[in-house]
Structure 1
Amino acid sequence: MDITELHNERELLGQVAAGDEPAFRTILRFYHPRVFSHALTFTKSYPEAEEITQDIFLRIWQQREKLPEIENFRNYLFILGRNQIISAMRRQVIKTDAAAEDPMEDMLIPDRQYQYKETYALILKAVDKLPPRQREVFTMSRLEHLSHEQIAQKLNISKAAVNWHIVQALNTLRAYLANYPEVLIFLIAIAPMY
């Protein structure tokens, strides 16, 4: 059942913006399972997925006055969810890194060396399966650490095209590496922030 069959979504969002808690609960009941499922797919942790989901809806409630300006609530919710998931994964990577006393010493442990080598090989194998232009742009961005502007200049394409290729490459890699969440976290962790 679609939420528009129950109520006009824009009308509901307007009510939420005005502080109507029952309208917010209607939005929450409809979208909570979808947001939670999306978060769980990436975190593989029920408590973490629930925390991310709660943070998303708390943020929506706290910024409810902006809801009438939103053209497509589903897209807005997806982007908000994606950003929360990435932030949570980055925090987890930072926490893991902070727990290690000496990162260089950690790299010298044979088991860790093997694990890093395996992870890197898996990423390279996945990258090799990308279409040529996506592979080229992704490699320049994530492995050579060039900015979007530098890539655009080198390849004589727009920054928007660079971004599009990276998004497409990440989507393909996410699907290919779905059974390796630790590798996905690594890919996100090395992503430059532009």
Structure 2
Amino acid sequence: MGFEENRFSEPFTNNFDYTSFNELFNLYYPRLCAYAYQITKNPTASEDIVQEVFIRLWKGRKELNIKGDIFNYLLKACKNASLNFLRSESSRRKTLEEIPEKDSINDMDLIEEQELVDFVQQCIDLLPQRSRQVFLMSRFEGLKQQEIAERLGTSIKTIKNQIWKSLQYLRTCLKEKDAI
């Protein structure tokens, strides 16, 4: 059974079988890839586009009723898919260009941030034990002043004072080290 192009020039209907599909694929795939490449200028994308066109053709074969030349149908499908690819690529490039460069984190930023975190931890470690405990429960465990007071068996006023004194101390500690 040879590859006869005129065999596919008649109206194409849903009696499309695997053998016919393979013949069609082998006959037109290289030309369709070349056509898609003329539009996209991307060899990999061109092959992907043509393969997708053939996949859609195979999946839709039961409902298929092409009136006219199948090659013209495939050309049009490749053209539309190639143009969609270009639109998608253009949109992707535009989005990437809009992302500010400063959003990228460099090693120095990470090092400086870690140094600041370490220094803040040193200042917290210098707090008196009870103040440190209250401050950590408040800021790092997210407990409310009432919850801290209940856990530690003390008044809310004492908890408020310890948090306030801890914050004052941390500000002073950071100012002395020129961290603020």
TM-score normalised to structure 2 length: 0.48
Query: Which one has the bigger helix percentage?
Result: 1
Specify the structure having the higher radius of gyration (Cα). 2
TM-score normalised to structure 1 length: 0.45
